[in-house]
A and B are shown apart, each in its own frame.
Chain A
Amino acid sequence: MTRTILIDDEPLARTLVREYLQSHPTFEVIAECGDGFEGVKAIAQHKPDLIFLDIQMPKINGFEMLELLESPPGVIFTTAFDEYAMQAFERHAIDYLLKPFSKDRFDKAIAKWKSQGQKQNEHTAELLNSISQPEERTRIVVKKGSNLVILPVQTVFYIEAFDDYVKVHTKDGFFLKKKTMAHYEKVLDPAQFIRVHRSYLLNLQELTRIEPLTKDSHVALLKSGVRVPLSEAGFAKLRGVLGI
Chain B
Amino acid sequence: MNSEGTIKLVNFHFGMATPQLSFFKIILVYLAWWVFWGADQVYLLVRNGFDLNTAITDAIVTQGIFAMAGYVINTSMHSYRPSGKNALYIIIWSIALTYICMYLQRETLYRIIEEDAYRASFENSVIIRAAFGWLMIMLVAVLTWAWVYVKEKQESEERRNEAVKLAREAELTTLRQQLQPHFLFNSLNSISALVMTQPEQARKMVQQLSDFLRGTIRKDDKVLVTLEEELTHLQLYLDIEKVRFGHRLKTEIKIDEAAQQKKIPSLLLQPVVENAIKFGLYDTTGEITIVISARTDGPMLEIEVTNPFDEATSTRTGTGFGLSGVQRRLDLLFSRNDLLKTSRNSGIFTTVLRIPQSAA
- Chain A interface (Cβ within 8 Å of chain B)? 9-13, 15-16, 19, 34-35, 37, 56-59, 80-82, 98-101, 135, 138-139, 150, 152-153
Contact = CB atoms under 8 A, between A and B. Distances in A.
A167 to B, nearest CB: 20
B243 A152 contact: no
B182 A16 contact: no
Chain A CB count within 10 A is highest, among B285, B310, B317, for B285
A188 B4 CA distance: 42
B247 A100 contact: no
A98 B282 CA distance: 20
Give the interface size bracket for B toward A. 20 to 34
Contact of B285 (A16, A56, A59, A101): A59
Interface stretch (B10-18, B141-149, B184-192, B214-222): B184-192
Contacts of A35: 285
Given A13-B186, A139-B315, A58 B193 contact: no
A58 B282 contact: yes
Chain B CB count within 10 A is highest, among A10, A12, A101, for A12
Contacts of B30: none
B12 to A, nearest CB: 28
Chain B CB count within 10 A is highest, among A11, A150, A153, for A11
Secondary structure type dominating chain B contacts? helix
B190 to A, nearest CB: 4
Nearest to A17: B193
Contacts of B282: 56-59
Interface in B179-223: 181-182, 184-186, 188-194, 196-197
Given A57-B282, A58-B284, A59-B283, A12 B190 contact: yes
Contacts of B22: none
26 contacts: A9-B245, A9-B281, A10-B189, A12-B190, A12-B193, A12-B194, A13-B186, A13-B190, A13-B193, A16-B192, A34-B285, A37-B285, A56-B182, A57-B282, A58-B282, A58-B283, A58-B285, A59-B284, A59-B313, A80-B182, A80-B186, A80-B189, A100-B185, A101-B189, A138-B316, A152-B315
B244 interface: yes
Given A12-B193, A19-B196, A37-B285, A139 B185 contact: no
Contacts of A37: 285
A57 B253 CA distance: 26
B313 A12 contact: no
Nearest to A137: B315
Contacts of B190: 10, 12-13
B324 interface: no
B300 to A, nearest CB: 34
Contact of A100 (B188, B283, B315): B188
B284 A152 contact: no
A99 B186 contact: yes
B197 A15 contact: yes
B186 A138 contact: no
A12 B281 CA distance: 16
B121 interface: no
A99 B315 contact: no
Contacts of A153: 315
Interface string B92-136: 000000000000000000000000000000000000000000000
